[in-house]
Amino acid sequence: MSSALTLRVQRVRSRSSRGATASCIAIGPEGRATPDAPRYAVAFPSRITPVEVLQGQWWRVVGDTKQVSYIIDGYQVQEDRLTAQAAELLRPSGEHIVQLLSTSPGFPGIGEVKARRLWEAFGEGLYSCLEEADDAALRAIVGPDLATVLISGWQQYGAADALQWFQQVSLELRLSRKVLAAYGRRAHLTIKEDPYRLLAFGMSWSAADTLAQQHFELPPDDPRRLSAAVEAVLYKAFDGGDTFCERSEVETSLSGLIAPSHVPVALTLAESNGIVGVRGDRLHAHGPYLIEQSVAEALNQRLGATLPLAERDEVDAVLASFEKEEAAAIGRVDFTLNAAQREAVHAAALNPLLLITGGAGVGKTTVLKAVGDLLDQCDRTTYLMALSGRAAKRMAEATKRPAMTIAGFLRNVAPEGLPENSVLVVDEASMLDILLAYRLLKAIPTSCRIILIGDPFQLPPVGPGLTLQALIPIERVPRVELTEVRRFGGDIARGAQEMRDGRWPTFSAGPQPALAFMPCAANDIPETVLRHYLADPKGTQILTFTREKGVASARILNELCQEAVGGDEPRLLVWNEDRSRQEDSGLRLGDSVLCVRNLWDLGLQNGSLGHLETIEKTPQPLFNAEGERTGVVLAWVRWDDGELRPVTEEVLDALELGYAVTVHKAQGSQFSRIIVPVSATRNLDRTMLYTAVTRATTQVLLIGDPEAGRRAVEAPRHASRRKVTLTDLLAGAC
């Protein structure tokens, strides 16, 4: 029999286009939930749910309740499940005001627990309490000191009308924060004037269009809608990497958003409203165009004239000293720089902007060290940086100089200002997108010299546009190409170079081939990869093209490897406060683990790999050098730099299984033996395979579909298909 229940959402478990599933607690007749109140797992089908299901909401739900029992991590769990046949929102979640109070700097001491307590006490009345500075009412809930904080903070940060309106239209919390930060107390009025402004904050076209139709009843030919459709098409292309679109592409895409008969009017409106710039058959969103224009202007200021840091004979003296020191350091008395490497160092002494490019193993890092010595001799303030923490760490280790991520430089160094004698050296520059290049160039003085080092045939930027790749065709941009392979040779170097050149390589034969391909059906790839991995698990790293999707994703292979290598090993359990029990973290003793965030204080970077060496039977307190307790140790990991580091809850949140990692995570790393599953994925191209192959020093084993690999290598690189304007701007053609 169906029953009607009043429930409060405690946690949203999952969400999809079909609806949401949430953990809920029953609200008693007195209007509150008690600790022993019944709990339910409720499925909210989207067809009967008028707004998005959020934590903290109160719902009146009608449906059939069924008790189920299941086991999680060895624990018997019983719960009542209910699929809502009808659902009425009784009280909104209050998440907008809860998050404002708990995260804004204007409300120190008001954490999420106290913010929720306020919402539970007052509901919608909380807004008027704060607007009217009702000290007595607030004191009764949080005490006199925090009541004063709330009243003072609300005068500065409060926006009751905007928050309530966001709540009424069920605007996503992440979007409401951005809109509030941009428009302040007038945020709701600004959006009401043109709801399609939400596109600029990351809302999808379908969501913005639905909001406009449902809450404002805008007609299909409303000028705001037509102009916004053009903007949506151009920014979707920008998210995909392109900084402009051909007119015919825009017209086709527009026909999928608005009536085809409205397309010409939409384009005219978008141009007259300043949303789009038209240059021949190219259509540019103004934002991306201005960004590329700014980057081109900043680079142009560093072109056209040489500004020598030292005379040629002085540079030669630095090189002679470097060669002597390097020979001693690596134990090779015959070590010398080749002609291209010497040319690169001389070019760094001459040019305010320089590109140093070349494939894997051609000595770019050696040149970087020599350039560092030159800049030191010339009394230059040098900033070494890379996109990823892993690459920055490798720069620091190779050069014995400080290095940082570009994000770290922008956050911690640039705001303090750079001296006039500064030099920026950016490694792995193939991954520098146009947005990051713009921020970097805006943050430095025009006197700052720039050296970009990278391989244009390795992975392109994840973000939009191109930087290094767009500069290479410009003849007046100084560039030195390194071609002589120095780090490794043999079949791996040969095969990598052939892939880089767009040719499918010849694979090795024999019992221990350096570069081999094992064909197999797509469904057999995981088991075949596992079998070959188990032949040498300690010396092998699996590199994949995808993290979650496809038959050979990192997720699937990690699960297989963990079960095969450590399925019977002890589990790392962690205490769950909400459920008052221990739960499986997903890690086992001996697991290969991957750090997926930069944890600089601990010496770990996004991409660091290690092995779970010890699990504490009982969590142990962790103390710093001053004897102060700083956390609780759950386990210990031996990382790839040889250091044994504790696993606290903070570290655990940054860990994933690392038997298989994506090629993106591995860029900048080296492994003895790698296995690469090959299948037809959307992101597979020449650069992906080439980057994977160049991570190995001893053996590369490709497993899967050789025709998918061949097609990827012989086809143009994905990056070459990106439509960017920077090259034309620098060439003066735009």
Q: How far is CA 217 from CA 163, 164, 265, 383, 623, in A?
A: 22, 20, 20, 54, 61
Closest among 217, 218, 212, 229 to 263, alpha carbons compared: 229
On whether both 40 and 183 belong to a single domain, the answer is no
Dump pLDDT digits (tens) for 51-77.
778 877 888 899 988 888 766 555 566
Phi, psi of 286 (to 5 degrees): -65, -35
Question: Please, is 710 exposed, middle or buried when counting C-beta atoms within 10 Å of its C-beta (0-12, 13-18, 19+)?
Answer: middle
In this prediction, residue 72 carries a pLDDT of 59
On whether both 512 and 597 belong to a single domain, the answer is yes
On whether both 75 and 103 belong to a single domain, the answer is no
pTM of the full structure: 0.78
On whether both 10 and 50 belong to a single domain, the answer is yes
534 pLDDT exceeds 60? Answer: yes
On whether both 74 and 183 belong to a single domain, the answer is no
On whether both 145 and 170 belong to a single domain, the answer is yes
In a domain, 122, yes or no: yes
In this prediction, residue 527 carries a pLDDT of 95
CA distance 479 to 348: 10
Dump pLDDT digits (tens) for 380-397.
999 999 988 888 888 998
On whether both 546 and 662 belong to a single domain, the answer is yes
Instruction: Indicate the residue among 47, 67, 91 that finishes a domain.
Output: 91
On whether both 718 and 633 belong to a single domain, the answer is yes
In this prediction, residue 158 carries a pLDDT of 65
In a domain, 354, yes or no: yes
In a domain, 288, yes or no: no
Domain carrying residue 321: 311-482
Instruction: Indicate the residue among 193, 228, 246 that finishes a domain.
Output: 193
In this prediction, residue 93 carries a pLDDT of 64
Closest among 452, 426, 494, 561 to 700, alpha carbons compared: 494
For residue 46, give the amino acid letter: S
Beta strands in 442-483 (DSSP E): 449-454, 479-482
Dump pLDDT digits (tens) for 563-621.
999 878 999 988 766 556 677 888 999 999 999 888 878 888 888 899 999 999 888 88
In a domain, 510, yes or no: yes
> What mean pLDDT, rounded, does the chain reach?
88
Question: Please, is 315 exposed, middle or buried when counting C-beta atoms within 10 Å of its C-beta (0-12, 13-18, 19+)?
Answer: buried
On whether both 402 and 347 belong to a single domain, the answer is yes
β 353-358/449-454 pair status: parallel
Give the total number of structural domains in the chain: 4
In this prediction, residue 636 carries a pLDDT of 95
Stronger pLDDT, 74 or 99, i.e. the higher one: 99
CA distance 585 to 204: 34
Residue that is written with structure tokens 């659902």 in the block: 87
Residue 695 exposure: Cα atoms within 13 Å on the Cβ side: 29
* CATH number, domain with residue 436: 3.40.50.300
Q: Enter the DSSP assignment of 473.
A: T
Dump pLDDT digits (tens) for 104-155.
777 888 888 888 889 888 888 888 888 888 999 999 999 999 999 888 887 7
In a domain, 218, yes or no: no
On whether both 70 and 129 belong to a single domain, the answer is no
* CATH number, domain with residue 15: 2.40.50
Question: Are the CB atoms for 361 and 497 separated by under 8 Å?
Answer: no
At 677, is the secondary structure helix, strand, or coil? strand
Closest among 91, 166, 93, 94 to 130, alpha carbons compared: 94
Question: Please, is 32 exposed, middle or buried when counting C-beta atoms within 10 Å of its C-beta (0-12, 13-18, 19+)?
Answer: exposed
In this structure, how many other beta carbons lie within 10 angstroms of the beta carbon of residue 507?
17
Instruction: Indicate the residue among 56, 91, 126 that finishes a domain.
Output: 91
On whether both 146 and 38 belong to a single domain, the answer is no
Q: What kind and span of H or E run contains 24? A: strand 19-26
In a domain, 322, yes or no: yes
In a domain, 431, yes or no: yes
On whether both 477 and 492 belong to a single domain, the answer is no
Question: Are the CB atoms for 554 and 547 separated by under 8 Å?
Answer: yes
